């Protein structure tokens, strides 16, 4: 079990990035948060401890990569009956040995659309609505309040931009621009809504509300697969269920499980995504790590016991996994 007071000692053991030699000569794609070792048919997704906000990498947070990978794995195992997913048998982080941050997956042809599902009028959707704009092409009725629950969840897709910020797109634009064909898009919509329903059900058992999330789908041999991460605090917003109604009635901010406090610290220090980012003090990194660990424990109902020790031994484990399993 990790105590908050112990996290400081782990700050300099954060996993910043996967070194070249751990990839054993295989090509590495470096995403904002994950380093992806590319094989022919499979990938090793290595979640680093990097933290991004407003689409910029700002610091590292100990245990974050492992927490995220293992929360996703928890959800993939509980949603596999809804739609096929990319995790290979024995490929979940706790099954690979010597690491907790990596996932061995089937390589998919990714669709260029991020499938955002929202259960509540929150975040950027609220900001758009407040300013009288449609939300991904959807005109919402007048008179809604901040953080109000939608009668049924809404899909508000955005394009997956290669660089810079994502662009909201409507269902019509997705089909008209040929981003995804109508048949597969309809299949994606029903899979996304079913996943979200399962997410809300299991979150409720943990005393949480799954507020919104983002899915990424791909195809393998023409069939649809759920890829990337699933209901992790990086791709999702969670609120605590018990305080929702009173805070909603008084229009107070909701108690959040995710990295919103980190974003708020940045905004309070004058950073909203443009210009030079402030350097993140240790106490903010520790508080954020603590949040992620609590998120793991709340969602899974299990105590977080890290599987990774330090970057050196973890890199050795990752190199072994690449050599043995990634072809
Ligand atoms: N099964 C998969 N096949 C191919 N690509 C995948 C798969 N799962 C996830 N990806 C991609 O791997 C990358 C993960 O790295 P990430 O740090 O999330 O990058 P990004 O900055 O693009 O969000 C993403 O581009 C994601 O779309
Ligand atoms: Mg991503």
> Quick one: pLDDT at residue 164?
60
- The four Cα atoms 281, 283, 289, 294 give a dihedral, to 10 degrees, of -150
> Quick one: pLDDT at residue 1?
85
- Residue 33 CA, closest ligand 1 atom number: 17
> Quick one: pLDDT at residue 77?
98
> Quick one: pLDDT at residue 259?
74
Give all strands (DSSP E) within the chain, no chain letters: 28-30, 34-38, 42-47, 50-53, 56-60, 102-106, 109-120, 149-155, 158-159, 167-168, 208-220, 223-227, 236-240
Cα 113 to middle of ligand 2, angstroms: 12
The packing angle between helices 182-205 and 64-79, to 10°, is 110
Count: domains in the chain: 1
CATH (domain of 48): 3.30.470.20
Which ligand neighbours the alpha carbon of 110 most closely? 1
Other residues' Cβ atoms within 10 Å of the Cβ of residue 294: 15
Cα 58 to middle of ligand 1, angstroms: 19
Ligand 1 pocket mutation pick from 110, 115, 116, 160 by most atoms within 8 angstroms of CB? 110
> Quick one: pLDDT at residue 298?
96
> Quick one: pLDDT at residue 104?
98
- Residue 47 CA, closest ligand 1 atom number: 17
Residues of the chain with pLDDT under 70: 162-165
> Quick one: pLDDT at residue 62?
96
Which ligand neighbours the alpha carbon of 29 most closely? 1
pTM of the model: 0.95
> Quick one: pLDDT at residue 165?
67
> Quick one: pLDDT at residue 186?
98
Other residues' Cβ atoms within 10 Å of the Cβ of residue 2: 17
Tell me the residue range of the domain where 23 lies: 4-325
Cα 144 to middle of ligand 2, angstroms: 30
Ligand 1 proximity of 168 Cβ (cutoff 6 Å): no
Ligand 1 proximity of 227 Cβ (cutoff 6 Å): yes
Which ligand neighbours the alpha carbon of 55 most closely? 1
The strand pairing partners of 210, in sequence order, are 238
């Amino acid at each position: 079990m990790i105590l908050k007071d112990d996290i400081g000692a782990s700050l300099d053991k954060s996993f910043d990035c996967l070194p070249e030699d751990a990839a054993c000569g295989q090509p590495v794609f470096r995403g904002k948060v994950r380093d992806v070792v590319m094989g022919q048919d499979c990938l090793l997704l290595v979640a680093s401890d990097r933290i991004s906000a407003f689409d910029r990498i700002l610091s590292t947070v100990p245990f974050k990569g492992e927490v995220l990978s293992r929360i996703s794995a928890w959800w993939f195992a509980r949603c596999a009956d809804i739609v096929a997913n990319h995790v290979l048998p024995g490929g979940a982080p706790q099954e690979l040995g010597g690491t907790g941050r990596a996932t061995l997956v089937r390589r998919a042809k990714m669709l260029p659309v991020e499938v955002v599902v929202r259960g509540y009028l929150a975040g950027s959707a609220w900001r758009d609505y407040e300013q009288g704009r449609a939300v991904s092409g959807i005109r919402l009725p007048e008179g809604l309040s901040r953080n109000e629950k939608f009668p049924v969840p809404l899909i508000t897709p955005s394009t997956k931009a290669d660089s810079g910020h994502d662009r909201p797109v409507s269902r019509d634009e997705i089909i008209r621009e040929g981003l995804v064909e109508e048949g597969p898009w309809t299949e994606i919509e029903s899979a996304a809504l079913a996943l979200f329903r399962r997410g809300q059900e299991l979150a409720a058992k943990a005393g949480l509300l799954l507020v919104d999330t983002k899915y990424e789908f791909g195809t393998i041999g023409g069939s649809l697969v759920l890829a990337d991460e699933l209901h992790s605090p990086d791709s999702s917003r969670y609120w605590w269920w018990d305080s929702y109604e009173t805070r909603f009635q008084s229009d107070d901010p909701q108690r959040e499980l995710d990295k919103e406090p980190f974003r708020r610290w940045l905004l309070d220090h004058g950073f909203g995504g443009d210009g030079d980012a402030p350097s993140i003090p240790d106490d903010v990194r520790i508080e954020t790590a603590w949040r992620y660990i609590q998120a793991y424990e709340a969602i899974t109902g299990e105590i977080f016991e890290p599987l990774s020790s330090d970057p050196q031994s973890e890199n050795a484990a990752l190199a072994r996994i690449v050599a043995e399993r990634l072809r």
